[in-house]
Amino acid sequence: MFTPRTRWLGFVLLLCPSFGCATTSGGVTLRADGTPSPQACPEDAKKIMRALQLRIGDSAWIELDANQIKSTPITLYDGPIESLLKEEFGTLETTTRLYGQVWTGGPQVVIRYYEAQPPASEKFPICAVVRLSENNLRKRPESKPGTAILEFPIASVDVVDAFR
């Protein structure tokens, strides 16, 4: 039996081929401090986010690293990351996975998400970022280059229309 949410997600996934849903985090240049430069959100991601009722500025709580759930502190590395929604996000249900990229070069961690994958579904493009709140993305002093030791395993993820 299909719930309204399942039907809605199925509709969005049917739209994916027509929007060219392949997205990538490649090609991002870095600023002098090691943080990523601005990057546009692809139009296909914006269309899919609207269909999923994800509006610019919407936020939800996530487990930063699906491999370190409830660990404290956690260590993040430059490169790909898989995070997990802890609550509903637009029409996305809890346990939806978010896939993105981590940069640890600056004074705090930068995380951008480019794809989402609800349980038992296909990946599709999104544009979202982890926001700095109460210094939860500040690296601990003992963090080595290419890594970031963070005090907290959870953070807020926000929908964006561009990465700044």
Segments making up each domain of the chain, as ranges: 4-20+38-163
Tell me the pTM. Answer: 0.82
Assign domain 4-20+38-163 to its CATH architecture: Beta Barrel (2.40)
At 131 the pLDDT is 86
* Helix 4-19, helix 43-51: angle, nearest 10: 160
pLDDT higher at 5 or 72: 72
Q: Decide: 92 and 113 in contact? Cβ < 8 Å.
A: no
Q: DSSP character for 92?
A: B
What's the mean per-residue pLDDT of the chain?
Answer: 86
**Where would I find the beta strands (DSSP E) of 5-146?**
39-40, 59-63, 74-77, 79-85, 97-103, 110-117, 124-130
Q: Is the pLDDT of residue 63 over 70?
A: yes
